[in-house]
């Protein structure tokens, strides 16, 4: 296990501590913006915003396949 504390910079593994910016559910999508910063979304909101937001991101990290 790696530590889940500390900076999120460069981190691609979302944890239970990462929460959707829209609804507060556990986040499975991390959108790293070209303008800087990152947004977190649950599976639902990740899908909802992907069409408009994804073109503006440098990295779109979708870990929704971890949902069991
Ligand atoms: Zn959400």
Residues 6+ apart with CB under 8 A from 38: 8, 30, 31, 32
Domain extent at residue 37: 29-66
Q: Would residue 38 count as lying in a domain?
A: yes
Q: Would residue 49 count as lying in a domain?
A: yes
- What is the distance in A from the centroid of ligand 1 to the CA of 23? 4
Q: What is the pTM of this model?
A: 0.77
- What is the distance in A from the centroid of ligand 1 to the CA of 9? 22
Q: Would residue 7 count as lying in a domain?
A: no
- What is the distance in A from the centroid of ligand 1 to the CA of 29? 10
Q: Would residue 36 count as lying in a domain?
A: yes
- What is the percentage of the chain residues whose pLDDT exceeds 90? 71
Total structural domains within the chain: 1
- What is the distance in A from the centroid of ligand 1 to the CA of 34? 21
- What is the distance in A from the centroid of ligand 1 to the CA of 47? 10
Q: Would residue 55 count as lying in a domain?
A: yes
For the stretch 7-30, pLDDT in tens is 555 556 899 999 999 999 999 999
């Amino acid at each position: 296990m790696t530590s889940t504390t500390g900076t999120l910079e460069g981190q691609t593994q979302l944890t239970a501590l990462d929460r959707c910016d829209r609804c507060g559910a556990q986040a499975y999508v991390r959108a790293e913006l070209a303008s800087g910063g990152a947004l977190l979304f649950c599976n639902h909101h990740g899908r909802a915003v992907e069409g408009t937001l994804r073109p503006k991101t440098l990295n779109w990290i979708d870990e929704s396949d971890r949902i069991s």
